[in-house]
Structure 1
Amino acid sequence: MQRRNTEARREAIVEWVNRDGHVQVESLAAEFGTSEVTIRKDLTTLAAQKLLVRQFGGAAPIQTSADSLSHNRTDARAALGQAEDKSASARKHAIGVAAARLVSNNSRIIIDSGSTTACMLPHLDSHSRLVVMTNSLHVASTLTGFDSEPTVLMTGGTWDAQSQSFQGHMAEQMTQAYSFDLAFIGASGLDVSRGTTTFNELTGLTQTMASTAKDVVIMAESGKFLHKMPNLELPWHSIAYLVTDNDIDEKTKQTIEKQGVTVITVAPDGE
């Protein structure tokens, strides 16, 4: 079943690339409800099969002689894709800085796996006597290299290759044994009326993380409101803060704030 799903996803990726001319890793991960690591593996495999060309931050279609007239157009799309990737990185960095400001010395926090939540890590080393739990090996290994020497706890559990994190019942049980001041969680999608959403039906650990924290902080770019996903992960009433970029629509911001959420908006560097 897993192999069939992988093959179907890769076929869809090739169709998308051939249709649009250039696709980004982040967009593909959101569309298929999987991790950016998994999408990069897909693109590497498809490139080896000569079904597409890997480019910075994404992929483009294979050029043929029949495509020569559209070569400049494809290059322009690729350049636009690279610029969008850099812009996305700037937004995530700014979100990470703002999220880290919510952390005080002596805090007990839990950090979910994800590229956006990881952006807060460089800004935590100045904090003293932190206790941090995570389900991400990347987060744990980064924290153990800090001069401030935070106490690092791992959830354990079953390794999930798609999300590059530990998941499952054992991880949930370990998390439930602790209490935290703040939980920092990313989002695959955002629904203005419901909360955070995902294609993944395995939402147990994220919900457990949220239940063990005094306040939940969602870290997500405003573009996630465009990602329509069927499964509700965390409702707005369980969320204290949404840290996002300043491209969020004012009406959307006000609607979320009326549901008791403090919305923190940030401008990417250089804006």
Structure 2
Amino acid sequence: MQKRNTQQRRQAIVDWVNQQGHVQVDDLAGAFKTSEVTIRKDLTVLAEQGLLLRQFGGAAPLPAHPGSLEPQPGSRVTRTSLSRQKSAIGQCAASLLKNNARIIIDSGSTTASMLPHVMRFSRLVVMTNSLNVANYLTGQDNEPTVLMTGGTWDPLSQSFQGHMAEQVTQAYSFDYAFIGAAGIDAQRGTTTFNELTGLTQTMADAAQQVVIVAESSKFAHKMPNLELAWQNIDYLVTDDNIDPQVKQAITDQGVQVMIATPNGE
């Protein structure tokens, strides 16, 4: 019942945002009689699904796509296509790996899409700040060596953050860091509303190669805080909806852009 109630609330939030335009978190919390923390989680999930734009203090409707948790006629972005898109990105990102690799997997739904493809490799060492990632990895027959960052639980990002997590991460070195992005600026790099950017930067510093995994829709998310600058990123793995001019602008900054295409397309 709880899952159904959450789904219904999120559908209602999408409808509300599409009708009202920009809506504040506190207004939504009052309207749905729930906490602002819960609303922020809802908005984060809905933004990751491409159903609205997460903006400072609230959310706004997408400029081009209809908002619904169910596929609608004429919509370019549906839950099914988003799921296939994420899976393709995860598979493409995992193609960089070899047996015995030492990697970091950041929290987030797009980085988590790598997990089924990561398990094709053996004798991995994986650090993560995500309980979901750790639970998945430790439940596999060919379980890798799993390292947790520890730190302070951040309910907004659903991950561990903070100084202790940074200290633990600094104690290791890795081949790759696979990091998600709340927003992407073609000129600056990855961006976020969350001011807790220290662990992401520490993860990048601890890895020889930094891989950003993100849907091209993240270029529409305008966020004020720079998380990782392009000069600190080696790869961007995204989908084939990326604007060619944007792709070229990122390539010109020394980043290798890998395009993931869902199987059968």
Q: 1:39 aligns with which of 31, 38, 42?
A: 42
Q: 1:135 aligns with which of 129, 136, 147?
A: 129
Measured against aligned partners, the alpha-carbon deviations of 1:228-251 in whole angstroms (never above 9, x if no partner) come to 111100000100000000111111
The verdict on how the C-alpha distance between 1:223 and 1:41 changes in structure 2, with shifts beyond 3 A counting, is closer
Identical aligned pairs, as a percentage?
61
Contact 2:90 2:112 in 1 (8 A): yes
Residue 33 of structure 2 is matched in structure 1 by none
Unaligned regions of 5+ residues in structure 1, if any? 1-9, 21-33, 44-55, 60-73
Q: 2:104 aligns with which of 99, 110, 114?
A: 110
**Alpha-carbon distance in 2 for matches of 1:192, 1:75:** 25
Contact 2:50 2:217 in 1 (8 A): no
AA partner of residue 183 (structure 1) = A
Q: 1:237 aligns with which of 231, 236, 242?
A: 231
Q: 2:246 aligns with which of 243, 252, 258?
A: 252
Q: Offset of 1:75 from its aligned partner? A: 11
Residue 180 of structure 1 is matched in structure 2 by 174
The verdict on how the C-alpha distance between 1:198 and 1:137 changes in structure 2, with shifts beyond 3 A counting, is same
AA partner of residue 110 (structure 1) = I
Residue 153 of structure 1 is matched in structure 2 by 147
**Alpha-carbon distance in 2 for matches of 1:122, 1:163:** 22
Residue 218 of structure 1 is matched in structure 2 by 212
Unaligned regions of 5+ residues in structure 2, if any? 1-9, 22-36, 53-65
Alignment of 1:35-74 (within 5 A): 38-39=41-42
Runs of 4+ in 1 over 4 A off after TM superposition: 12-15, 34-37, 40-43, 56-59, 74-78
Measured against aligned partners, the alpha-carbon deviations of 1:64-110 in whole angstroms (never above 9, x if no partner) come to xxxxxxxxxx9999542796222111111000000111111111000
Q: Which has the larger radius of gyration?
A: 1
Contact 1:125 1:147 in 2 (8 A): no
Contact 2:235 2:256 in 1 (8 A): yes
The verdict on how the C-alpha distance between 1:145 and 1:229 changes in structure 2, with shifts beyond 3 A counting, is same
Q: Offset of 1:117 from its aligned partner? A: 0.2
Residue 183 of structure 2 is matched in structure 1 by 189
Q: Offset of 1:267 from its aligned partner? A: 1.3
**Alpha-carbon distance in 2 for matches of 1:126, 1:41:** 30
**Alpha-carbon distance in 2 for matches of 1:36, 1:264:** 33
Q: Offset of 1:148 from its aligned partner? A: 1.7
The verdict on how the C-alpha distance between 1:106 and 1:87 changes in structure 2, with shifts beyond 3 A counting, is same
AA partner of residue 16 (structure 1) = V
**Alpha-carbon distance in 1 for matches of 2:163, 2:235:** 27
Residue 85 of structure 1 is matched in structure 2 by 79
AA partner of residue 42 (structure 2) = I
Contact 1:37 1:163 in 2 (8 A): no
**Alpha-carbon distance in 1 for matches of 2:170, 2:68:** 50
Alignment of 1:10-49 (within 5 A): 15-19=16-20, 38-39=41-42
CA-atom RMSD, angstroms?
A: 3.2
**Alpha-carbon distance in 1 for matches of 2:238, 2:229:** 17
Higher deviation after alignment, 146-155 or 210-219? 146-155
Contact 2:70 2:79 in 1 (8 A): no
Higher share in helix: 1
Measured against aligned partners, the alpha-carbon deviations of 1:158-181 in whole angstroms (never above 9, x if no partner) come to 111121110111101100010100
Contact 1:37 1:164 in 2 (8 A): no
The verdict on how the C-alpha distance between 1:225 and 1:35 changes in structure 2, with shifts beyond 3 A counting, is farther
**Alpha-carbon distance in 1 for matches of 2:68, 2:132:** 34
Residue 163 of structure 2 is matched in structure 1 by 169
- TM-score, normalization by structure 1: 0.74
Measured against aligned partners, the alpha-carbon deviations of 1:119-159 in whole angstroms (never above 9, x if no partner) come to 00001112111000000000001111222221000000011
Contact 2:191 2:226 in 1 (8 A): yes
